[in-house]
Amino acid sequence: MAWTDLVRDPIALILFGSFLNTGSEVQRKWWKRNPENKGHCYTEGLFRWSMHINYFGDTVLFLGWCLLTATWWTLVLPVLMAASFVFFHIPGLDAYLEERYGDEFVAYAKKTKKFMPFVY
């Protein structure tokens, strides 16, 4: 299934966004259960594709819901959501993570897109 097919099918966007958000959080939770990982920055699973894949998943999920309404003006919601993540939440969280994990986080940030895999 291509990305263009997803945009044409709001239910697919809702499911894909839910998978990105919830799946990434479940993967991180399982990883954190291992005592050997204590004090380390999680960079595996879906988070290897985007530092904030869960936020991207939320945006995709809401895009699907908005498309499902078949009302064009609702598209402002995922746009505002993405802008909020990119310009407000992500910079603050990145500063916190860099302080907490230091060089480990810096190395991860250099090689991983912040929000949208392969793009930003």
Q: Under 8 Å CB-to-CB from 85, ≥6 apart: which residues?
A: 52, 55, 56, 58, 59, 115
pLDDT at 93: 97
For residues 112 and 98, give the distance between their C-alpha atoms in angstroms, rounded to a whole number: 14
The pair of structure tokens assigned to 75 is: 């598209």
Kindly report the pTM of this predicted structure: 0.90
DSSP state at residue 1: -
For residues 28 and 21, give the distance between their C-alpha atoms in angstroms, rounded to a whole number: 11
If we measure between CA atoms, which residue out of 108, 89, 84 comes closest to residue 98? Answer: 108
Average pLDDT for residues 60-87, to the nearest whole number?
A: 95
| 75-104 per-position pLDDT tens digit | 999 999 999 999 999 999 999 999 999 999
| 9-49 per-position pLDDT tens digit | 899 999 999 999 999 999 999 999 999 999 999 999 999 99
